């Protein structure tokens, strides 16, 4: 059994089906978890596909010098068309361990959740 980088279970039944395009995320939190797992796996295609085109940078590739080591979701909310997720993502890079705290915003676009932007800190 291969654990999912997002920490919720087995990859094949957690974020794997989302990364493979077998199904779409049903909530902003599920999308955020799958995006974290995509960063951890270096899946730039999934990151681009789930980023709102209005805010998506030209280069969405994950930094190979960062190893993502854990995720804690602090809060999530949704009204069905927009949503937010507050999280802490832990990593290790050449400087040692660190963490990224973000308040992320999501929206539905053509019936699918996409990442819009976030406030880091």
Residue 68 to residue 51: CA distance in whole angstroms: 19
Written as tens digits, the pLDDT of the chain (121 aa) is 899 999 999 999 999 999 999 999 999 999 999 999 999 999 999 999 999 999 999 999 989 999 999 999 999 999 999 999 999 999 999 999 999 999 999 999 999 999 999 999 9
Domain of 81, CATH number, reads 3.10.450.50
CB-based contacts of 43: which residues, under 8 Å, 6+ apart? Answer: 19, 37, 62
Determine, yes or no, domain membership for 71.
yes
Is residue 3 domain-resident?
A: no
| Domain-embedded: residue 28 | yes
**What pairing do the DSSP bridges indicate for beta strands 96-109 and 112-120?**
antiparallel
Q: Tell me which residue range forms the domain holding 29.
A: 11-120
Other CB atoms within 10 Å distance of the CB of residue 109: 14
Please tell me the distance from the alpha carbon of residue 85 to that of residue 28, in angstroms, as a whole number: 7
């Amino acid at each position: 059994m291969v654990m999912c980088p997002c920490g919720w279970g087995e990859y094949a039944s957690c974020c794997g089906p989302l990364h493979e395009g077998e199904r779409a995320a049903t909530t902003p939190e599920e999308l955020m978890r799958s995006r974290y797992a995509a960063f951890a796996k270096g899946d730039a295609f999934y990151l681009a596909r789930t980023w709102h085109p209005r805010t998506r940078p030209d280069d969405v590739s994950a930094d190979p010098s960062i190893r993502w080591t854990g995720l804690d979701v602090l809060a999530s909310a949704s009204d069905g068309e927009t949503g937010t997720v507050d999280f802490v993502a832990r990593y290790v890079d050449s400087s040692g361990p660190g963490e990224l705290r973000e308040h992320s915003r999501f929206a539905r676009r053509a019936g699918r959740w996409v990442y819009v932007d976030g406030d880091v800190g």
